[in-house]
Amino acid sequence: MLWSIRVLWGGAVTGGLSWRTRCRLGQAWAALLAVLLAACAEDKVAQDACVVLGNCPGNLTTAPVLLDGGSGDASVAGMCPGPSSDQRCDLGGYWGARMSVFSRSPLLSGPQVSNVWYFWQIEDQGERFEVVDHLDCQIRTVGLADVVLPVATEQALFYRNPQQGRPGRYVQQGDSCDFWMERHYNLRGIDHGGLVPERFADRRPLADLNPLPSEANLEQALARAEDWDMDGLPGVTFLILGYGKRHTMQRDWTQYFSAPPPQAPERASYQVALDADRLTVSALFDSEETVLGASDCGEDDSGTGFECNLIRTTADPANEPHFLQMVRLGRCAQVPELANLLESGPLALCQHIEALLPQVAWDPDWDQAGVTPPSLAAPRSRSAP
């Protein structure tokens, strides 16, 4: 199809036409080409997405349901004693989580949504808690293009940014629970040395840390890049469905809370129910990225052209209300269903969590000023960003 368009524009049809007419035709072809590329990409996404992600129907090893959290079953309660009757805010157990953050690109009129999934085993310590085990799972961005991690990249990221020891607070305040989880920094595609703080309590902004190698000095960036997913290309690979692959290094941080902290008083405040096995809280997030290259894009895979330039386009975190949703998978591994899930391996566990907490896409009916999506939770209060 693209070859045919180029032949028509470069030869028989346009021969003998004035430059003004050629210019108008060129604008029309560009508009048509954008529509055709979008349609092709949509078809490609529909055909290939579940294959790339490894989660086609029938691939999940367990049904996406809660296993023992809040079941009330006497036998489960006997195997997994819950908190004392006077402790109504307890995070102990195994959790799946999905963070949804918003970003904006010069190519988009509205935000795109990046969904990041996690597995956490949390030890409850009364009014405080601590992450004792963790997995980074899939990352998927929905917007101008559908961006996912190939299975090899997802597997490469499982343990690269350990959160063991990450502290938090979960305490009853009246008829709800106040949630707060300490900041954590992540790197992808580059060694951690000197680029992220060593302590959880160090909350410096990215601009105050040692700089991430930039595209302005691509040679230095390539020298620092590490091929985590072992595909023979620098950094980590993101698959832009229908367009090609993006090779990149990234740095970001995340922090979660039900009541906004002093540095972000404008953020939404969520009410977390007592005895909750599901909860939604606000997220703070910042990120930066260095694009190292693109591949499998363009008709000749040369790394040039419309598709490759689209793949290289970066986006900045937006001021929409980032949020985190969590669901308790179970309180203890003695429950057979949870034990089987934990023994099924990290990929199957991550796929289970993704099924429990499906991806979020931007809804144009949401308030563009940043009001919390109404389908998620009713915030206690909100100030416009």
Same domain as 242, residue 108: yes
Same domain as 74, residue 38: no
Say if 381 falls within a structural domain: no
| Alpha-carbon span 158 to 307, nearest angstrom | 29
**DSSP letters along 53-73, please?**
HT--TT--SS-SS-SSTT---
Say yes or no to pLDDT of 16 above 80. Answer: no
Same domain as 277, residue 160: yes
Residue 298: per-residue pLDDT: 67
Same domain as 133, residue 224: yes
Residue 179: per-residue pLDDT: 96
Same domain as 322, residue 179: yes
Residue 201: per-residue pLDDT: 87
Say if 376 falls within a structural domain: no
Say yes or no to pLDDT of 36 above 50. Answer: no
Per-residue confidence band for 49, with pLDDT thresholds at 50, 70 and 90: very low
More confident residue, 319 or 122: 122
| Alpha-carbon span 295 to 305, nearest angstrom | 11
Same domain as 160, residue 31: no
More confident residue, 55 or 123: 123
Give residue-wise pLDDT tens across range 125-178.
Answer: 999 999 999 999 999 988 777 899 999 999 999 999 999 999 999 999 999 999
Averaged over 241-261, what is the pLDDT? 90
Residue 117: per-residue pLDDT: 98
Same domain as 62, residue 42: no
Per-residue confidence band for 15, with pLDDT thresholds at 50, 70 and 90: very low
- Give the structural domain span for 13: 1-52
Say if 368 falls within a structural domain: no
Same domain as 26, residue 13: yes
| Alpha-carbon span 160 to 273, nearest angstrom | 33
More confident residue, 72 or 168: 168
Nearest CA among 274, 337, 354, 214 for reference residue 82? 274
Phi-psi region of 227 (alpha: psi -120 to 50; beta: other; left: phi over 0): beta
Say yes or no to pLDDT of 27 above 50. Answer: no
**DSSP letters along 110-151, please?**
S-EEEEEEEEEEEEEETTEEEEEEEEEEEEEEESSSEEE--H
Nearest CA among 168, 166, 372 for reference residue 257? 168
Give residue-wise pLDDT tens across range 334-382.
Answer: 888 899 999 999 999 999 999 999 998 876 655 443 444 433 433 333 3
State both tokens at 275. Answer: 């005895």
Same domain as 255, residue 164: yes
Residue 207: per-residue pLDDT: 93
- Averaged pLDDT score across all residues of the chain: 75
Give residue-wise pLDDT tens across range 79-126.
Answer: 676 776 778 999 999 999 999 988 876 655 567 889 999 999 999 999
Nearest CA among 338, 365, 368 for reference residue 121? 338
Number of domains into which the chain is organized: 2
Averaged over 245-269, what is the pLDDT? 84
Same domain as 44, residue 99: no
Per-residue confidence band for 239, with pLDDT thresholds at 50, 70 and 90: very high
Same domain as 31, residue 115: no
Residue 9: per-residue pLDDT: 26
Between 231-235, 259-263, 333-337, the lowest mean confidence (pLDDT) is in 259-263
More confident residue, 187 or 269: 187
Q: Which residues pair with 177 in a beta bridge?
A: 172, 272
What pTM, to 2 d.p., does this model score? Answer: 0.76
Say if 168 falls within a structural domain: yes
Same domain as 227, residue 206: yes
